[in-house]
């Protein structure tokens, strides 16, 4: 049978198949199906039942031929149409039989499949590097403030001044902790807390950073005080407790066979063009050095780092605080350790649909035997920690145990991040707090509800698209940038500019 015998039906079929091919092409970003298989699937009974008996027969025939062609290798040296229009004019100009039509269709779709994947990979890579590279202006800020530390006594002055030192361990104050190597981000967190506070004179902020960032971070807060709030800046090297012996996780990280390669070697090694964007991104993140930095694990040592404190609120450096947070100290945690917002239910069905199965590999027996896939997850970013209750538990030991197990299992228990081992370690020690305290997802989805953003006590730019990056979502950026003083000399001299936002319509 050839198409020439039934030109009306031929046209119907050709257009139909071509249309389906187009649908498949646009779906390829979402579906993990090769284009030609997608076409085969879409050419199912529903499509075949349209158009009456004649076309039914023809379509059936075509389906068989497509099926047959799909399992065959393409002829070597076949000239491949590079686009639909080329394909269509090719069809019009040559009176192909059904088999040739199918072969050429397959060739074109395979070609497009590769092109789409190639550009998808390029896009993911671009996004990854955009998300992990420090912007020039922020690098500049860090360098200039480091210079300032060595040249300007004002930048080196003690923080806080000696007569206020005793307040650092006074439990009648509200103690906040942020751990960051990003000066601008830390500055926004601290500034937004102080500005939103009804009693800023009761705020004590403990800013922790790494050894390398310490001089610049200290300069920043010494030169930009936020009195009456009290600010302390400390490098990890200045905590007596944080010696190597006390941080087995760090040791495990360093000693683990292959981790050097994973983290410091070729970041894109083992990343596959065929991976879905989500798997791709998580593989890159798992290899990113961010996840072996001590700063990202630091919150697990709060009871030891602040031996005299009873309760602290720990903030990630990608949040903005918009309400007075002092009521957090009034919440009765009912003996639990960690007051956190649960992430398994909520209006936003994408951001708030996280269960243990989201984070762990339940195909692994260690996980399947220990955890319940339906258990609700909770969020890092804004947590109230009762350090006294914490000191009575073995949370840290459990955490270390599981981080090590994940290494021993070649990182197959969970993909990335510091949250999964915490989800295990804090089991039975979490007290859910009202979701209005902490709104998540501003760094990974564009469709954030601005009305909810305005009302939330704390907004969290979790995800890759941080508000200080070019790839940050423009409409939620102003909630962050309004806490940056773009007139500051250091910021201006480093050409860090306020992003301009023009509404699109």
Ligand X SMILES: *[C@@H]1O[C@H](CO)[C@@H](O)[C@H](O)[C@H]1NC(C)=O
Residues that bind ligand X (CB under 6 A): 361, 363-364, 409-410, 412
* DSSP secondary structure letter of residue 312: E
Least Å distance, CB 259 to ligand X, is 11
Least Å distance, CB 274 to ligand X, is 15
- Give the residue with the Cβ less far from ligand X, 18 or 361: 361
Contact 2, 72 (CB under 8 A): no
Least Å distance, CB 57 to ligand X, is 46
Least Å distance, CB 261 to ligand X, is 10
- Give the residue with the Cβ less far from ligand X, 412 or 485: 412
The answer to whether the peptide bond before residue 228 is cis (omega within 30 degrees of 0) is yes
Length of the chain: 505
Least Å distance, CB 256 to ligand X, is 10
CB contact set of 61 (below 8 Å; sequence gap of 6+): 1, 98
- Give the residue with the Cβ less far from ligand X, 363 or 505: 363
- Give the residue with the Cβ less far from ligand X, 144 or 415: 415
- Give the residue with the Cβ less far from ligand X, 113 or 275: 275
Least Å distance, CB 7 to ligand X, is 52
Least Å distance, CB 124 to ligand X, is 18
- Give the residue with the Cβ less far from ligand X, 228 or 260: 260
Closest alpha carbon to 322 in 435, 437, 230 = 437
Q: What are the DSSP calls for 208-221, one per residue?
A: EE-TTTHHHHHHHH
* DSSP secondary structure letter of residue 361: -
Least Å distance, CB 410 to ligand X, is 4
Contact 227, 203 (CB under 8 A): no
- Give the residue with the Cβ less far from ligand X, 157 or 357: 357
Contact 387, 310 (CB under 8 A): yes
Scanning the structure block, which residue is given the tokens 């950026």? Answer: 477
Q: Which pair of tokens denotes residue 33?
A: 């199906």
Contact 467, 480 (CB under 8 A): yes
Q: With H, G, I as helix, E, B as strand and everything else as coil, classify residue 380.
A: coil
- Give the residue with the Cβ less far from ligand X, 275 or 386: 275
Residue 203, strand partner residues = 174
- Give the residue with the Cβ less far from ligand X, 171 or 261: 261
Q: How far apart are CA 27 and CA 30, in angstroms?
A: 5
CB contact set of 344 (below 8 Å; sequence gap of 6+): 352, 353, 354, 355, 376, 377
Least Å distance, CB 357 to ligand X, is 12
Contact 98, 256 (CB under 8 A): no
């Amino acid at each position: 049978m050839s198409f020439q015998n039934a030109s009306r039906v031929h046209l119907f079929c050709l257009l139909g198949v071509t249309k389906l091919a187009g649908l498949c092409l646009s779906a390829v970003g979402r579906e993990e199906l090769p284009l030609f298989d997608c076409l085969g699937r879409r050419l199912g009974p529903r499509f075949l039942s349209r158009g009456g008996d004649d076309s039914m027969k023809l379509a059936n025939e075509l389906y068989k031929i497509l099926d047959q062609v799909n399992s065959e290798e393409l002829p070597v040296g076949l000239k491949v149409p590079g686009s639909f229009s080329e394909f269509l004019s090719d069809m019009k100009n040559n009176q192909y039989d059904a088999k040739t039509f199918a072969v050429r269709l397959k060739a074109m779709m395979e070609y497009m499949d590769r092109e789409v994947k190639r550009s998808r990979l390029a896009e993911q890579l671009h996004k990854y590097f955009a998300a992990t590279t420090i912007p020039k202006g922020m690098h500049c800020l860090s360098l200039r403030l480091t210079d300032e530390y060595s040249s300007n006594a004002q930048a080196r002055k003690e923080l806080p001044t000696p007569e206020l030192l005793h307040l650092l361990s006074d439990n009648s104050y509200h103690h906040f902790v942020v751990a960051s190597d990003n000066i601008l981000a830390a500055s926004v967190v601290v500034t937004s807390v102080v500005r939103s506070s009804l009693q800023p004179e009761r705020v004590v902020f403990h800013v922790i950073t790494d050894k390398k960032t310490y001089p610049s971070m200290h300069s920043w807060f010494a030169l930009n005080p936020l009195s009456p709030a009290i600010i302390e800046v400390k490098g990890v090297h200045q905590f007596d407790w944080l010696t190597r012996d006390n941080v087995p996780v760090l040791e495990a990280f360093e000693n683990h066979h292959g981790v050097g390669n994973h983290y410091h070697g070729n970041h894109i090694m083992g990343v596959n063009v065929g991976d879905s964007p989500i798997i791709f991104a998580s593989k890159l993140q798992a290899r990113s050095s961010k996840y072996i930095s001590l700063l990202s694990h630091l919150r697990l040592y709060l009871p030891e780092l602040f031996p005299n404190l009873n309760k602290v609120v720990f903030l990630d450096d990608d949040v903005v605080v918009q309400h007075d947070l002092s009521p957090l100290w009034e919440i009765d945690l009912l003996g639990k350790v960690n007051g956190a917002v649960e992430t398994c239910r909520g209006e936003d069905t994408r951001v708030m649909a996280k269960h243990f199965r989201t984070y762990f590999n339940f195909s692994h027996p260690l996980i399947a035997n220990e955890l319940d896939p339906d258990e609700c997850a909770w969020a890092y970013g804004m947590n109230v920690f009762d350090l006294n209750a914490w000191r009575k538990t073995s949370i840290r030991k459990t955490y270390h145990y599981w981080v090590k197990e994940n290494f021993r299992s070649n990182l197959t228990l969970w993909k990335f991040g510091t949250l999964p081992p915490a989800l295990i370690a804090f089991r039975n020690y979490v007290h859910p707090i009202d979701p209005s305290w902490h709104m998540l997802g501003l760094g990974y989805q564009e469709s954030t509800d601005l009305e909810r953003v305005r009302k939330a006590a704390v907004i969290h730019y979790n995800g890759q698209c941080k508000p200080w990056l070019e790839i940050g979502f423009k409409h939620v950026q102003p909630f962050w940038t309004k806490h940056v003083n773009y007139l500051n000399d250091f910021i201006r001299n480093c050409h860090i500019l306020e992003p301009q936002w023009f509404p699109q319509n």
